[in-house]
């Protein structure tokens, strides 16, 4: 499998960044290197500066999820056999947190103070202390396997999407479900919470993207993703933008235009008429 690096601003063609012998199952960009998950349980680190590569054996099953810690010193790896491993990005030292619990790990995400959360194939959502490795809480979050997980920038909320066609917003500290967003007609593939703290973006296998205000529970926009099914979502270069990756290889940059309310209640879009 080949991974290409592109410069979208200068519109330069992609150049080969790393090539692996097997399918890439997960990616995570750290401060100094790119981590590439493999089907054989290995994690390949590629230095941004020197291009040097270093492979670390995280387990014996596929690496299905990767996430770098906020300081870039540790990499969290979730495996298909339910194993959770912490890898020191500098020396490659491993620390196994859990093995074979809750089915395969589908998604991982870091919170505050090096706590982290994982979403599993059995639909559970688990919260861990990253320093001790202790599981602090386990929640039956969904009836079907988790598809995606996103942690808010301040680490206080977590959004999950599942094959049960539900998107849920959770309070990190208490584990309480704050909102359930439903009414989806196809499988959810990816979720994202924008920096405004209220807009949840959900991507679907039927090539639809929905935007929700999770606080009100209302769907604000339904978009045509223009790419034969959405497979991933990511923040854009600005707080009001996001990216969608599609099954046909397209990457689309979206911009959200907000309507501002003033004291007289007149929307900014109508002001001046």
Contacts of 132 by beta carbon, 8 Å cutoff, 6+ apart: none
Mean pLDDT (the chain) is: 86
Q: Is 112 helix (H, G, I), strand (E, B) or coil?
A: helix
Helix (H) or strand (E) holding 95: strand 94-98
For residue 176, is pLDDT > 70?
yes
| Alpha carbon distance 107, 143 (integer Å) | 16
Predicted TM-score of the model (pTM): 0.84
Contacts of 265 by beta carbon, 8 Å cutoff, 6+ apart: none
Average pLDDT over residues 27-41: 92
pLDDT at 22: 66
For residue 112, is pLDDT > 90?
no
Architecture of domain 148-273: 7 Propeller (2.130)
For residue 254, is pLDDT > 80?
yes
Q: Which CATH number fits domain 1-104: 1.10.3720.10, 2.120.10.30, 2.40.30.10, 2.40.160.40?
A: 2.120.10.30
Residues 25, 31, 32, CA angle at the centre, nearest 5°?
85
Contacts of 51 by beta carbon, 8 Å cutoff, 6+ apart: none
| Alpha carbon distance 155, 145 (integer Å) | 23
User: Which DSSP string do the residues of 223-271 spell out, in sequence order?
Assistant: EE-SSSSEEEEEE-SSTTEEEEEETTS-EEEEEPPPPPB-TT--BTTTT
- Beta bridge pairs of residue 41: none
Q: Which range in 50-54, 69-73, 124-128, 265-269 is most confidently predicted, on average pLDDT?
A: 124-128
Written as six digits, the tokens of 132 are 């001790």
Secondary structure letter of residue 63 according to DSSP: E
pLDDT band at 133 (very low <50, low <70, confident <90, very high): confident
pLDDT band at 4 (very low <50, low <70, confident <90, very high): very low
Instruction: Tell me the domain boundaries of the chain.
Output: 1-104, 148-273
Higher pLDDT, 125 or 9: 125
Share of the chain above pLDDT 90, in %: 62
For residue 13, is pLDDT > 70?
no
């Amino acid at each position: 499998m080949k991974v290409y690096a592109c410069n979208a601003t200068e519109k330069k063609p992609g150049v080969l960044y790393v090539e692996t012998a097997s399918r890439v199952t997960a990616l995570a960009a750290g401060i100094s290197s790119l981590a590439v998950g493999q089907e054989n349980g290995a994690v390949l680190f590629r230095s941004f500066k020197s291009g040097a590569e270093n492979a670390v054996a995280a387990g014996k099953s596929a690496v299905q999820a990767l996430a770098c810690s906020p300081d870039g010193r540790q990499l969290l790896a979730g495996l298909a056999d339910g194993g959770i491993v912490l890898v020191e990005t500098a020396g490659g030292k491993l620390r196994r947190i859990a093995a074979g619990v809750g089915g395969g790990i589908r998604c991982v995400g870091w919170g505050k103070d090096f706590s982290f959360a994982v979403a599993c194939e059995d639909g559970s959502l688990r919260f861990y202390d990253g320093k001790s490795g202790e599981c602090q809480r386990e929640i039956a979050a969904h009836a079907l396997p988790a598809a995606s997980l996103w942690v808010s920038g301040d680490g206080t909320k977590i959004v999950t999407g599942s094959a049960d066609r539900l998107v849920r917003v959770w309070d990190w500290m208490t584990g309480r479900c704050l909102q359930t967003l439903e009414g989806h007609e196809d499988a959810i593939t990816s979720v994202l919470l924008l920096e405004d703290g209220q807009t949840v973006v959900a991507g679907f296998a039927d090539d639809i993207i929905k935007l929700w205000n999770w606080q009100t529970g209302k769907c604000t926009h339904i978009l045509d993703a223009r790419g034969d099914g959405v497979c991933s979502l990511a923040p854009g270069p600005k707080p009001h933008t996001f990216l969608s990756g599609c099954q046909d290889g397209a990457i689309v940059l979206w911009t959200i235009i907000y309507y501002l309310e003033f004291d007289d209640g007149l929307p900014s879009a109508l002001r001046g008429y």
